[in-house]
Amino acid sequence: MRLAAHGFILSRAPLALPDDFWWARASVHGGTLTRFATDAPADGWQALAHRLLGAGGAVIELHDETQQTYRAACVRDERLHACLYLADGARPLPGLDWLKQQLGAAKLDKGARKALLAGRAPDGMADTGPVICACFGVGLATIQELIASGAAVSVEAVGQHLKAGTNCGSCQPEIKKLITTMNGGCVLAGAEA
List contacts with ligand FES (CB under 6 A).
Answer: 6, 133-135, 164-171
Nearer to ligand FES, 134 or 187 (CB): 134
Closest CA to 11 of 45, 47, 43, 59: 59
Residues 55 and 73: their CA atoms lie apart, in Å, by 12
Nearer to ligand FES, 53 or 135 (CB): 135
Q: How far is the CB of 122 from ligand FES (least distance, A)?
A: 27
Residues 128 and 138: their CA atoms lie apart, in Å, by 8
Nearer to ligand FES, 70 or 80 (CB): 70
What b/e readout covers 46-70, taking b as 16+ CB neighbours within 10 angstroms? eebbeebbeeebebbbebeeeebbb
Closest CA to 71 of 55, 56, 57, 82: 82
Nearer to ligand FES, 48 or 162 (CB): 162
Nearer to ligand FES, 121 or 171 (CB): 171
Residues 10 and 80: their CA atoms lie apart, in Å, by 9
Q: How far is the CB of 81 from ligand FES (least distance, A)?
A: 25
Contact 33, 25 (CB under 8 A): yes
The beta-strand segments (E) located in 1-158 are 5-11, 22-28, 31-38, 58-64, 69-76, 79-88, 131-133, 138-139
Q: How far is the CB of 3 from ligand FES (least distance, A)?
A: 9
Q: How far is the CB of 164 from ligand FES (least distance, A)?
A: 6
Nearer to ligand FES, 59 or 179 (CB): 179
Q: How far is the CB of 8 from ligand FES (least distance, A)?
A: 10
Contact 16, 34 (CB under 8 A): no
Which one-letter amino acid corresponds to residue 105? A
Q: How far is the CB of 193 from ligand FES (least distance, A)?
A: 11
